[in-house]
Amino acid sequence: MNPEYLLEIRDLKVAYGGIQAVKGISLNVAPGELVALIGSNGAGKSTTLKTLAGLLPPASGHVYYQGKNLKELAAHQRVTQGMALVPEGRGVFARLNVTENLLMGAYSRDNRAEINLDLDRMYALFPRLAERCGQLAGTLSGGEQQMLAMARALMSRPRLLMLDEPSMGLAPLMVQKIFETIREISAQGMSILLIEQNARLALQAASRGYVMESGAITLSGAAVELLGNDAVQRAYLGG
């Protein structure tokens, strides 16, 4: 393992039954870095994040986080170690209000004063949520639910934020707001692994990127280089 990296994945393989969804990928995220993982539907991107979060077992390979092998850590233990996943589809608690959802994100913490401070921080970061703090999450718009899912993850005070398709199904104006927030969080020093079908937005926000196809990493490099890559432009940027 390389001590320079917050997250290091080595030759990770993940299988559903007899189908190998992830075929031996390797990637890394340094502290404070925003890394994009792009690719078409079914490439294995979400499977990768679910495996990192402890929701799926790897078939083989190694995942190191803060220099430790994650193999023995359950999903809830990974949260307490500073990993937070914002899942595809958002997964908010529909029958709880906004504030209650945010408090669920802090379930592993016990310092109420610090939790209240972080609530205030989330409402400052997402003013729309402050306006709807008593509203049931299930009645929010898709964009508002995405904001809530991100804020809920941040309430665990993660060192690594994993975002799975944050722009999916959102109107263009809301997508712009979500990505402005992602860039703001990144600028504050948060390490982010971003999965996103909107490759242009993802690579514009990231410092580095990986391209995933059919369960394998086919390209990697500086985000600006991938934006200028002919194959990436043809496949993902409409070039």
* Structural domain includes residue 169: yes
* Structural domain includes residue 30: yes
Span 166-209, pLDDT tens digits: 999 899 999 999 999 999 999 999 999 999 989 999 999 999 99
Whether residue 238 has pLDDT greater than 80: no
Write the DSSP string, 147-205.
HHHHHHHHTT--SEEEEE-TTTT--HHHHHHHHHHHHHHHHTT-EEEEE-S-HHHHHHH
Range(s) of the domain holding residue 126:
7-236
Cβ(136)–Cβ(95) below 8 Å = yes
Predicted local confidence at residue 41, as pLDDT? 87
Predicted local confidence at residue 72, as pLDDT? 84
Span 57-105, pLDDT tens digits: 999 999 999 999 998 899 999 999 999 999 988 889 999 999 999 999 9
* Structural domain includes residue 129: yes
What's the structural domain count of the chain?
1
- Can you give the CATH number for the domain in which 158 is found? 3.40.50.300
Question: What are the percentages of helix, strand and coil residues in the chain, rounded to 5?
Answer: 40, 25, 35
* Structural domain includes residue 92: yes
* Structural domain includes residue 153: yes
74 three-state secondary structure: coil
* Structural domain includes residue 117: yes
Cβ(212)–Cβ(185) below 8 Å = no
Confidence band (pLDDT; 50, 70, 90) for 239?
A: low
The pairing of strands 7-16 and 60-65 is antiparallel
What pTM, to 2 d.p., does this model score? 0.94
Predicted local confidence at residue 226, as pLDDT? 97
Confidence band (pLDDT; 50, 70, 90) for 159?
A: very high
* Structural domain includes residue 1: no
